[in-house]
Structure 1
Amino acid sequence: MSSVKKRPNGKWRARYRDDAGKEHARHFERKIDAQKWLDQVTASVVTGQYVDPTAGRVTFTDYFEQWAARQVWVDGTEKAMRLAARSATFADLELRKIRPTHVEQWVKVMKDGDPRRENSRKLAPGTIHTRVNNVRAVLRAAVRDKMIASDPSEDVTLPRRRKAEAAMQLPTTKQVGALLAAADDTFGVFVALCAFAGLRLGEAAAVRVGDVDFLRKRLTISRQVQRATKGQVEIRAPKYGSERTVFLAPELVTALSAHVGRLDGAGPDRWLFNGENGNPPHQNTVGYWWRKTLRDAGQTGIRLHDLRHHFASGLIAAGCDVVTVQRALGHASATTTLNTYSHLWPSAEDRTRQAAAGLMAGALKAADQVRTAVGE
């Protein structure tokens, strides 16, 4: 129910009742403006975009807590979401008062540091993108809940991230060989799992002896080590979509077999690598081993995760397609694989040159055979 009526003071009152029966009204100097406002409200109701003007009075933080309580998250996701929500400079504002300028200001603070805080840390573009996306999920939920009409983070400009080909460090075969030579027998196997099976640090640390099928040359990835608070070790499922079977090179199977033979008691439930108190190693322990190996190998600027890129580049160079690489690395989708490694696949120009080179080589070989036959 809606109407436009002239008031005794000469102004025009437009009013309507929402689905809950609550009346809303505004006053205008001109009838045409009152009718225009009422038409806009009616259109929003018809299209399902109507938002109660009194909604959105809850702060971002309070709404986040209500929304978070309904989400099905693993611990890592929850920690990341809460970190992003706490960092938002508009966290104490009511949802209805948050504007794109508030989001832009937050992005600026993350990029340049907070001038109000001494030694405020500047965040990398990738970290900023992640935090904004996490907060955006909250704001979009508020839109779906009809708390606000639109997402104020929409179209906010974020810092540019480096292109994958510029940011990625690909260790050479010589560098990987130097690392293997410098590592002790145990950590050498850890390095090999990352470089020749593409395991992440946490995945390699969480391998049990029973995960290795020596006869079929396969390795099952079904868990990862996640460092918890106070240096404790937490074992959880791998990243979403990362459960997989990795097909191992015979040489890697041989190295794993020799390593298991050196273990004291090698039942199927035994960790392949030892940490503290009967646990597998966590990030700090592996980091120490890695830094020592880098130093002994005379290498700098290489991260352990770069060995995973080394593995991916080898698969691509060998002619593996996107889906094969995706499954080997445990990416959730082929899109992730392409976003990360598309620059490593041969371009159309590369394939054209290679095909032309093959044609020309065949023709030149035939010409040589003809010349030889004529000479005889």
Structure 2
Amino acid sequence: MSASIDDRWRDRNGKPTKRDGVGKRWMARYRPHTNAPEITKSFTKKTDAKDWLDQQTAAIITGLWADPKAGKVTFSTFAERWTARQIWADSTREGNETAIGSVTFADVPLGELRKSHLEQWVKSMHTRGLAPSTIGVRYSVVRSVLKGAVSDKVISSDPSDGVRLPRERRAAAAMTIPTPEQVAAALNDAAEHDPEFYAFIATAALVGPRLGEVAGLQVPDIDFLRRKVRVERQIQGTSRGNTRVVPPKHGSERWLNAPEELMTILAVHIEKHGLTEDPTHPGEEWIFGTGGYVYQRNSAGHSWRRVRERVGLEAFTIHDLRHFYASGLIADGCDVVTVQEAMGHSKPSITLNTYSHLWPSAEDKTRAAASKLARSVLADQARTRSSG
């Protein structure tokens, strides 16, 4: 770094200049690194100029320096450039662009962005009734953009540090899980009123794929002999003729171990209803479809809402069938890794964060072990007394 302080009222030989006595006298200048453009600032007092240069020097040494000119770019402009160089799946890109587009400070220069801007944005989302989880996801995306700006030396610090978010409900309170009786009621209703949707519900409830993963199943994905269902694609989109076939979330291609009963349901479904040849995807045949199109979020959601209204299950979404399956695995003693693999989670921590409240606690295990021991002791005691 090169730096200097010049007297604007004197030339290099110390003689008065034409602007003697006019404007700020002291010009501080520096280059942050070799071949970098020179950065200048004028001051009335020489001590102020020196203090400013000392601050810039310290920022460069500590790695906190940012180009003041770069900070003039607006958040939306930088976010557009930052987004363009990210490697994202289509679904991730759509969600992240939605998050970035929701900010209330799009036209604010990054150098002028303050924590208060982030707080006002979070408050506006909360006021509109967005779920705390949705607000948290959007905040994380925008925070990534700002960290990118810090990394690129556009700004020296992240203004999103310390922003408080609405508290999420505990998983135990937020999660709704239907009972086996309620799932049976939904299946019975679908069998009577919407037979094409019957096997869709059964697949979601009995092997636990995500909605888009169920919609993306094809005949080669069903191994009837080994009783397995392969997840290697999902359907995205919200309307007929506007769907995409993409890999599963987080690259979670996997085989699901299916009960024999589901294999029978799928075989009967294929025999009775045939396959769907969606014109949007020529050459592809789908196990599940309605009206000549593959199921997607809106059509599957519509069919599910009609079922649940008829049987009084308005409290449950179709995604809750996935929770139903996970809860069944846990109740039967499956460990975290087994449940993780079945649900297609990228990390065991995601499984634990989602379902930890369903696993027996240490107290539950201790109580169960003590009960088993007590039954053994008391049974032995009863045999001793009867023999005496």
Same fold (TM over 0.5): yes
Match status 1:189 vs 2:199: yes
Residue 111 of structure 1: aligned partner: 126
Unpaired stretches in structure 2, ≥5 consecutive residues: 10-20, 278-282
CA deviations on 1:62-116 (whole Å, 9 max, x unpaired) are: 1112112212222222222222222211101111111111111111222224xxx
Query: What is the deviation of 1:30?
Result: 7.1
Letter in 2 for 1:135: V
- How far does residue 156 in structure 1 lie from its aligned partner after superposition? 0.7
1:266-277 mapped onto 2 (5 Å cutoff): 270-277=285-292
Mapped partners of 1:281, 1:231: distance in 2? 11
Q: Which residue of 2 aligns with 1:48?
A: 63
Task: Name 1:311's counterpart in structure 2.
Answer: 325
The 5-angstrom pairing of residues 1-376 of structure 1 reads 1-3=2-4, 15-19=29-33, 20=36, 22-25=38-41, 27=43, 29=45, 31=47, 35-113=50-128, 122-184=129-191, 185-227=195-237, 232-264=242-274, 270-277=285-292, 279-373=293-387, 375=388
1:308 to 1:112, Cα distance in 2 relative to 1, 3 A: same
Q: Structure 2: how far apart are the matches of 1:208 and 1:146? A: 49
Note if contact 2:275-2:286 (Cα within 8 Å) is conserved in structure 1: no
Query: 1:142–1:148: 8 Å Cα contact kept in structure 2?
Result: yes
The 3 A distance-change label for structure 1 pair 172 and 264 is: closer
Distance in 2 (alpha carbons) for counterparts of 1:80 and 1:94: 24
Q: Which residue of 2 aligns with 1:116?
A: none
Instruction: Give me the identity figure in percent.
Output: 45
Residues 222-272 of structure 1, C-alpha deviations (whole Å, 9 max, x = no match) = 111111567522221111132111001122222222222324479996311
> Using a 3 Å threshold, how does the CA distance of structure 1 residues 186 and 228 change in structure 2: closer, same or farther?
closer
Alignment check: 8 A CA contact 1:13 1:26 kept? yes
Q: Provide TM-score, normalisation by structure 1.
A: 0.88
Query: Does the aligned pair in 2 maintain the 1:59–1:93 contact within 8 Å?
Result: yes
Question: 1:299 deviation in Å?
Answer: 2.8
Q: Deviations over 1:29-57 (max 9, x none)?
A: 474x6555444332322232221222211
In the alignment, the residues of structure 1 paired with residue 86 and residue 118 of structure 2 have an alpha-carbon distance, to the nearest angstrom, of 23
8 Å Cα contact 2:276/2:288 also seen in 1: no
In 1, are the aligned partners of 2:179 and 2:324 still within 8 Å (CA)?
Answer: yes
Would you say the 8 A contact 2:64–2:157 is kept in 1? no
Contact 1:17/1:24 (<8 A) preserved: no
Q: 1:363 to 1:40 in 2, by over 3 A?
A: farther
For 1:77, the aligned partner's letter is: T
CA contact (8 A) 1:275 1:282 kept: no
Q: Which has the larger radius of gyration?
A: 2
C-alpha offsets along residues 184-229 of structure 1, whole Å, 9 cap, x if unaligned?
2432211111111001111111111110001111110011111156
Q: Distance in 2 between matches of 1:39 and 1:298?
A: 70
Gaps of 5+ in 1: 114-121
Alpha-carbon distance in 2 for matches of 1:123, 1:300: 20
Q: Secondary structure at the match of 1:148?
A: coil
- The 3 A distance-change label for structure 1 pair 26 and 356 is farther
Tell me the distance in 1 between the aligned counterparts of 2:240 and 2:258.
Answer: 35
1:325 Cα offset (Å): 0.6
Q: Which 10-residue stretch deviates more, 66-75 or 223-232?
A: 223-232
Aligned residues: 364
The residue that corresponds to 1:117 in the other structure is: none
Q: Deviations over 1:277-307 (max 9, x none)?
A: 4x31122221232122223323321111111
How many angstroms apart in 1 are the aligned matches of 2:210 and 2:256? 12
Distance 2:89 2:223 in 1: 29
